[in-house]
Chains A and B, each alone.
Chain A
Amino acid sequence: MSFRIICLAKQVPDTRNVGKDAMKADGTVNRAALPAIFNPEDLNALEQALRIKDTRPDAEVILLTMGPARAAEIIREGLYRGADKGYLITDRKFAGSDTLATSYVLSLAIRKLAPFNLIISGRQAIDGDTAQVGPQTAEKLGIPQVTYAEEIISLTDDEIVIKRRLEKGVEIVRATMPLAITVHNSASHCRPRIARLVMQNKHARSVTELQAETRDYTELYQSRPYLQINEWGFEDIQADVEHLGLSGSPTKVKKIENVVLQHKATQVIRTDQEIEALVKELLDAHIIG
């Protein structure tokens, strides 16, 4: 039996390049208007999984992502770096999911991929910084969790030792498996793409992507079936519609406000004389000194 690691990865809008049309009127994110990237901490998570694979020939790394059709890009990116397989969980019914609804969907997909040894996710996704999906998924699966992992120190068939990075220092814990781990950004960077794997996987496509292709992939896929990116909708994971999307999300956005800055009459300072005058003023007022 293989040692199965399921890596949770999310495609996120690059919040470092946000424009004005980033939000839709209903308060959800307008993903189409933004460049999409592999959530940075999910790359740290993938690296931890790949390191296990480096040392264990029986290890198998499966990438799991829930998102729109274009999130298949994440899976290709993972294959280029050494993941074995990927599953894209996508359905219109998932749109508008908050973290609870997301963890519900992910936990159903994971159950379908059971038995597994480890679930490795990022600590948090940069679009919301909630850090909720990892622990919420663990709870739904009824397995323990180790959050903020920085390094996997040792691993045997039944025990794993992990170093955690906390606000106030570090902690080393021992845990049994199956286990969910969330990985902190202080963990090692992910290895780059590997040329051989890029060559091997660059034609990997999900069903939806294949439909949009002009080229006929039938023959290629017959000889290299592994190129098929698995795509599951809500029926494949037997989800209860009640628990999906906006209806399955207890949190609602009541309103979005553009913050109006209460403009202070700022005093603009440009010259050295003015800087010196400011320093004197602050000294006189005993704000400094």
Chain B
Amino acid sequence: MNSVFVYCEVTEDAQVAEVSLELLSKGRKLANQLKVRLEAVIIGSSKSASIAPAVFPFGVDVAHIASHDNLFPYLTLPHASILKHVFEKEKPEIVLFGATSIGRDLAPRIASALKCGLTADCTSLEIGDHTENRTQREYKNLLYQIRPAFGGNIIATIINPETRPQMATVREGVMKKEIFNPKHKGTVKKIDVNSILSDNDFSVSIIEQHIEKSKVDFKNSQIIVAGGYGVSSKENFDLLFQLAEVLGAEVGASRAAVDAGYAEPERQIGQTGITVRPKLYIACGISGAVQHRAGMDQSAQVISINTDPNAPINAIADYTIIGDTAEVIPKIISFYRKNSK
């Protein structure tokens, strides 16, 4: 069987992006199960030519590196041309991309060119078998691409029985970054950029970029106060910021709260937002749809504040405070002030 591949994103400072390292960790496990190699494709500026030592500890056996100053910042067509070239030659079994603005721009182009399946925003990836009902045909060692599906409380397992590679995107934070072996040795394969790219690949060019450092920091927050549609107004949402300030917490939101304009999109937690694992998660006016839970059910402790005693989120909460967030949050703040020295 052929290899598991991970497309590695390169950051401003010529490092491999966090999400890509997380995917390498997952990719290593899948490769072990399949008894195949893990390979990385890294496309970046000439500064990234010597990036390979950063990925080998994650268990990368082969690092395909394309470095050229034209290749950073990211542009769709040159990266797509290079990937198509590598994949047509190497015929990967599995390819993983981060579900970032780069991965979600690039992966569908590759899937379309290679006529293979692609599953977005997977929350879990496993290896398993499949028997086709109609033909009774058996398939061994397929990639199960697992994601919450449309609407209610449903989890779908998607497979690509016939086509290769099997491709998936995964959001940052969903997989755990783990060093495989600090001494793991891999080999570097340089990609001959000039023989692949043509002028047509540069028909889109970047005039200007304003990179804004995100105001939201979930990675270093032990406590997250998250608000949903039940918070009911932007003014009430300010109470969450007050509570967060008092507790030294970060503020998160459900998608319904983001859609309603109560919070910025970068605060969204869930399948199509960020995945968090804090010590304490305070869910305020959040019903607990499966897409939301996908991003927070690894929290050590959960408190739900909800007017509905039967809200699904309560089932995964350690404590359920029945009440209106607008009344409960000020009480928590004052009890905290009173009891903490």
Contact = CB atoms under 8 A, between A and B. Distances in A.
A169 interface: yes
Interface stretch (B87-95, B189-197, B231-239, B327-335): B327-335
Contacts of A15: 150-151
B158 interface: yes
A241 interface: no
Mostly helix, strand, loop or mixed at chain A's interface?
Answer: mixed
A283 B223 CA distance: 13
A18 B339 contact: no
Contacts of A1: none
A215 B170 CA distance: 52
Interface in B176-216: 203-214
B144 interface: yes
Question: Which of the listed residues B111, B223, B338 has the most CB atoms from chain A within 10 Å of its own CB?
Answer: B111
A264 B317 contact: yes
B245 interface: no
Interface in B132-182: 144-145, 149-163
A287 interface: yes
Contact of B154 (A16, A23, A261): A23
Nearest to A141: B112
A156 interface: no
Given A100-B111, A250-B115, A161 B207 contact: yes
A18 B290 CA distance: 13
Interface in B97-116: 100-101, 104-109, 111-113, 115-116
Interface string A129-149: 111111111111000111110
Contacts of B53: none
B105 A145 contact: yes
A277 to B, nearest CB: 9
A27 B156 contact: yes
A173 B206 contact: yes
A239 interface: no
B223 A288 contact: yes
Question: Which of the listed residues B80, B151, B205 has the most CB atoms from chain A within 10 Å of its own CB?
Answer: B151
A8 to B, nearest CB: 14
Contact of B318 (A250, A262, A267): A267
Nearest to A17: B151
Contacts of A249: 117
A288 B247 contact: yes
B207 A132 contact: no
Contact of A264 (B203, B208, B318): B318
Interface stretch (B24-32, B43-51, B61-69, B308-316): B308-316
Contacts of A287: 223, 279-280, 301
Contacts of A136: 108-109, 111-112
Contact of A258 (B106, B153, B160): B153
A12 to B, nearest CB: 10
B217 interface: no
B331 A252 contact: no
Given A23-B150, A254-B144, A144 B76 contact: yes
Interface in A243-267: 249-259, 261-264, 266-267
A18 B204 contact: no
A36 to B, nearest CB: 14
A195 interface: no
A127 interface: yes
B280 A252 contact: no
Interface of B: 73, 76-77, 80, 100-101, 104-109, 111-113, 115-121, 130, 144-145, 149-163, 203-214, 223, 247, 256, 266, 272, 279-280, 290, 293, 301-304, 309, 312, 314-323, 328, 331-332, 335-336, 338-340
Q: Which 10 interchain pairs have the tightest Cβ spacing?
A: A250-B117, A18-B151, A136-B112, A139-B112, A251-B117, A132-B108, A135-B108, A250-B163, A261-B315, A169-B212
Given A139-B109, A139-B113, A268-B309, 4 more contacts: A23-B150, A251-B119, A266-B304, A276-B339
28 contacts: A98-B117, A99-B111, A100-B116, A128-B150, A132-B120, A133-B108, A139-B109, A144-B204, A145-B109, A147-B104, A148-B101, A148-B105, A161-B207, A167-B101, A171-B208, A250-B160, A251-B118, A251-B160, A254-B159, A256-B149, A257-B156, A259-B153, A259-B293, A261-B312, A261-B316, A264-B318, A266-B304, A269-B321
Interface of A: 13, 15-16, 18-20, 22-23, 27, 29, 98-100, 103, 127-140, 144-148, 161, 166-176, 179, 249-259, 261-264, 266-270, 272, 275-276, 278-280, 282-283, 287-289
